[in-house]
Structure 1
């Protein structure tokens, strides 16, 4: 825990989080705050947590931060630090994935998968193994994602409102949705709320495939 706090303090002082790399992608279509992007394959470090959207994000961050700040074992037995990228993503666990519109349950016992995207230079073979068994490492194929960007506090109401807007745009443009929504946060909590970047991302079918 001390190591994580010190590392986060260093990130705060250097601004490293705000300058973190984004996953490689191409922008294919842009319409206001909406983009269609083609993402290269990605590797995620994920943890599954329970609770409402906002609290689940906080619970998931700790184990993932511990992993990238040295809570791991490389192939030679040493721990390694892993650079942080943006965004931090959050999706509903597939076991309870819901049809649209996605809402918070009344009881607030949703399950979520919170993820850090690993830097592009790492592979499944070279990434260190997490010390925490709750952290899962998995690979995603190349994907076409529809995204909508908005600023402000990343609360559930804003995410749901923009998800509805994005789904309406996709329906209007006859694009096929093939994945569950991903809720993405790009900025750390100390960035002033009006300047925080957030996105809803939904995988769509590639018309060329």
Structure 2
């Protein structure tokens, strides 16, 4: 079974679930591709990383094992969010919860970076369906309207979370649009 990114539900509102995501690390790559192509282009780099195209550096108190290329468990979701670079997207795998940035294997691919993400409060809306930009944008607009109606303020950019492999029928796929927020009383 695929490990899922942990979170605590803080509340349920019409149109979204308010969650707290603890600090975590991601392996991410920025790709200069449109929404549809970014997921595929980024996935290839990230899958190679978790499949062992990396170098394992043991902690200083542990003797070297002599092995390079540590395979990591696949986790969910795969995240996609607009990059600060116009026309580009960041694609990220949330790494297994037991890893820290210091203990994560070092990517051999210079396009892949390991990033520490601080804890965050976010609104998340789940939906099924195709991984299209139109589907994502429609659900994002609904989420932003629901956030505003409840008095929350969006922070930063939204992200698209894909939980299922591409061979899962589109009508059974679990997807989410997630937006960091601050709320009334924060």
Give TM-score, length-normalised by structure 2.
Answer: 0.91
Deviations 1:118-151 (A, max 9, x none): 0100011111100100001110100001011110
Runs of 4+ in 1 over 2 A off after TM superposition: 206-209
Unmatched segments (≥5 aa) in structure 2: 58-63
SS of the aligned residue for 1:183 comes to: strand
- In the other structure, the counterpart of 2:181 is 204
Asked if the contact 2:151/2:184 (under 8 Å) is kept, the reply is no
Deviations 1:100-133 (A, max 9, x none): xxxxxxxxxx100000000100011111100100
Pick the structure with more strand per residue: 2
Deviations 1:139-191 (A, max 9, x none): 01000010111101111001000000000001111101112010111000111
Residues 1:42 and 1:206: Cα distance change in structure 2 (over 3 Å): farther
Matches within 5 A, 1:40-79: 40-75=22-57, 76=64, 78-79=68-69
Asked if the contact 2:14/2:146 (under 8 Å) is kept, the reply is no
Distance 1:38 1:24 in 2: 9
- In the other structure, the counterpart of 1:120 is 97
Aligned residues between the structures: 178
Give TM-score, length-normalised by structure 1.
Answer: 0.81
**What is the CA RMSD across the aligned residues, in angstroms?**
1.4
Distance 2:15 2:45 in 1: 32
Please, which of 27, 33, 38 is the counterpart of residue 20 of structure 2? 38
Please, which of 14, 22, 41 is the counterpart of residue 4 of structure 2? 22
Deviation at residue 52 of structure 1 after TM alignment: 1.3
Is residue 2:83 matched to residue 1:93?
A: yes
Pick the structure with more helix per residue: 1
Distance 2:183 2:104 in 1: 29
Asked if the contact 1:39/1:145 (under 8 Å) is kept, the reply is yes
Unmatched segments (≥5 aa) in structure 1: 1-18, 97-109
Asked if the contact 2:163/2:173 (under 8 Å) is kept, the reply is yes
